[in-house]
Amino acid sequence: MMAADASAGPLDAAHLCLCAGLPSDGILMSDWDATYDGVAAALGGLDLEMPFAKFMNSAALMPALSGGAIEESLIDDKVKRILRVIFRFGFYDRIQKDSSIQLDDAANAKVALDVARGGIVLLKNDKNILPLSSNIKSIALFGPNVNNNPAGGGSSYTVPYHYVSLLKGIEMMYPGVKINYVNDRFTSLEDRAANAVFFTAKGDRTPGVIATYFNNKELQGEPVATQTEKVINNIWSGKPGVAGLGAENYSIRYTGIIRPEQTGNYKISVKGDDGFRLFINGENVIEEWHDQAPKLKFTIMQLEAGKEYPFKLEYYQNGGGAQISMAYFIEKIAFTDAEKAAAAADIAIVTAGFDNSSEGEGADRSFELPEYQDTFINAIAKANPNTIVVLNAGGNVAMTKWLPNVKA
């Protein structure tokens, strides 16, 4: 399989050196979305573009055949290679599933548990607070990953046959201890975006924005559609539901008016996958014009009640997941119930980090924890000096804002 990265110039899928030293009876396939030039990839030795023929297809190859850039024998050879592998593995001869292999196997479950335990790293253990004392009477649990199966996204994500959540594990380990799970869910940007109020034009009293759709990533050419939409809060797993657009390679321009009801410092937030940029009063205040996993960016602006602020939000989708959400609000953060629960417990445990929607493959997630988590950890640690943080992340994260304030 050819990687998505470039190597000494051209992308690997288009490199003429691909075939050197490789077995002559197999196939060369690309990584997902790693092909950008069908003719160059075919000449470079690529036999199969994955996940589908986006560039290495008849529309690209037929003109090259007619013009003499590639030979028909080259295409024949690629077909032979693909069919040879299909027949070798018996894809047409039998069902590709061995029913004698037990799916939910106790031995496999033990290996998975050992791997999970082996991946735990203890970064801090002030005054040996871990393992927990047998004298504790109560534990308060907080955070987004207390009662689920935290895992990264992308190709690594697997739905387990069964799992033990942190909540269930604590209950099993400390049967005589009072466990208080405080499901104090943060107000996400998606929640705020679903209720954001925009207007289509100055002086207009009808809520909404104007959305203009293009069938390319550059916002170029004739739009395929222009329509009024109530909010900007879209998460697509496939096509965006606009005629003329596929699941990839499109762009959208949103225009509208922000007319706040009260004066104050507003947090204007955008979350996007892939690229996005925001202009307010003609000024570029957010710039994230590149491929990426879902990323949240914001700017703080002083807005006056009743005053109209024209904005333009531009977005493009290359491949994979797709999201664009926007909201503006005066941020008031309060964790009163959680702080009370933390203060009343002997031990406070906060889960923080990422999940399969915020950490995966094909793009870098942020080094910082998702919104509000740093603030939440510090609030709990202030309420209870015996606070322990459980981080769920596939790599390092920024911890300096709260690490000195927690025990472990």
Residue range 97-146, pLDDT digits in tens: 888 888 889 999 999 899 989 989 999 999 999 999 999 999 999 998 99
In a domain, 393, yes or no: yes
Quick one: average pLDDT of 172-180?
95
Task: Kindly indicate the confidence band of residue 15, based on its pLDDT and cuts at 50, 70 and 90.
Answer: low
- pLDDT for the residue 253: 98
- pLDDT for the residue 184: 67
Of 295, 329, 363, which residue sits at a domain end? 329
Quick one: average pLDDT of 47-68?
91
Radius of gyration (Cα) for the chain, nearest Å? 26
Of 312, 329, 346, which residue sits at a domain end? 329
- pLDDT for the residue 98: 85
In a domain, 93, yes or no: no
Task: Kindly indicate the confidence band of residue 232, based on its pLDDT and cuts at 50, 70 and 90.
Answer: very high
Burial (0-12, 13-18, 19+ Cβ within 10 Å), 58: exposed
- pLDDT for the residue 284: 97
Higher pLDDT, 15 or 172: 172
Residue 219 shares a structural domain with residue 270: yes
Residue 159 shares a structural domain with residue 217: no
Backbone phi and psi for residue 368, each to the nearest 5 degrees, phi listed first: -80, 155
Higher pLDDT, 352 or 35: 352
Residue 204's domain comprises 197-329
Average predicted confidence (pLDDT) for the chain: 89
Has residue 30 got a pLDDT over 90?
Answer: no
Of 88, 117, 146, which residue sits at a domain end? 88
Residue 202 shares a structural domain with residue 170: no
Residues with Cβ within 8 Å of residue 299, at least 6 apart in sequence:
267, 268, 278, 280, 285, 286
Backbone phi and psi for residue 191, each to the nearest 5 degrees, phi listed first: -65, -45
Backbone phi and psi for residue 44, each to the nearest 5 degrees, phi listed first: -75, -10
DSSP 8-class letter at 7: -
Residue 216 shares a structural domain with residue 274: yes
Among 23-27, 170-174, 206-210, 280-284, whose mean pLDDT is lowest?
Answer: 23-27
In a domain, 94, yes or no: no
CATH number where 300 lies: 2.60.120.380
In a domain, 313, yes or no: yes
In a domain, 32, yes or no: yes
Residue 213 shares a structural domain with residue 298: yes
In a domain, 6, yes or no: no
Residue 156 shares a structural domain with residue 228: no
Quick one: average pLDDT of 211-239?
94
Residue 287 shares a structural domain with residue 205: yes
Residue 54 shares a structural domain with residue 21: yes
Has residue 6 got a pLDDT over 60?
Answer: no
Q: From CA 337, how far away is CA 373, in angstroms rounded?
A: 16
Indicate the number of domains in the chain: 3
In a domain, 190, yes or no: no
